[in-house]
Amino acid sequence: MLLRHIFAMSLCVASATAWSDSFDINLNNDTAQFQYNLNTGRATQGRSELRFGVLYNDANSLMGEAGFMVMNDGDKETGVSVGVGVNLLAASVSRSGASKVNASAVALGGQVRFSPPAAKHFGIVGEFQFAPKIITFADADSYDQVGVRLEYEVMPQTMAYVGYRKIKFGIKGGPNAVLDDGAHVGVKLAF
């Protein structure tokens, strides 16, 4: 029930704001993820954004997320930019041979992007999020997400990418619940 409320709030916020930053969709045979990123401010050293998203997999697991990320504009000479943030997660996770479990977490995370100065349309992005036991709730006792992707700027407001990611919750008294573990393709549209 909590997951439905978070998802509904995310859709309301996303639809009510016409000046959004970007919409991101990525897919593989087993998983679909949709994210809405709202640019919330720009400072001399960087920018910040609110992120809302939902992930669904073929095992009928569903995860909603809402988060905040602060990023620098990157070093023009090295092509490296860095971001840190926090993400609120709520999930209903199906496990093989078991009933669904509910999981939620307050995850801390980061992102590093490298765009070679000589190839400004390409970028390599690494991301991670984690939540130890103290900030993981319901049936979960940990949360981990790692990913890497190769991006190509098709045009100024369109980014296509291919990547790999693993998303899992550690479950109290049971095996880990993996929501995604594999390659995906995606596109990010800015408007």
Q: List the one residue out of 1, 3, 40, 2 whose CA is nearest residue 22.
A: 40
Residue recorded with tokens 């590093």: 112
Residue 23 tokens read as: 């919409």
Residues 6+ apart with CB under 8 A from 66: 6, 9, 10, 50, 51, 52, 53, 87, 88
pLDDT in tens, 9-62: 444 444 444 445 899 999 999 999 999 999 887 655 667 889 999 999 998 999
Q: What percent of the chain has pLDDT over 70?
A: 84
Residue 88 tokens read as: 């609120």
pLDDT reported for residue 39: 85
Range in 70-74, 103-107, 130-134, 186-190 with the lowest mean pLDDT: 70-74
Range in 1-10, 63-72, 80-89, 151-160 with the lowest mean pLDDT: 1-10
Distances (CA, A) of 65 to 90, 103, 117, 153, 179: 7, 12, 33, 26, 14
Residue recorded with tokens 């490296």: 80
- CATH, range 2-190: 2.40.128
Mean residue pLDDT of the chain comes to 86
- Write the single-letter amino acid at 45: Q
Read off the pLDDT band of 149 (50, 70, 90).
very high
**Helix, coil or strand: residue 16:** helix
Q: Parallel, antiparallel, or unpaired for β 140-155 and 31-43?
A: unpaired
Residues in the chain, total: 191
pLDDT in tens, 127-145: 999 999 999 999 999 999 9
Residue 178 tokens read as: 């993996």
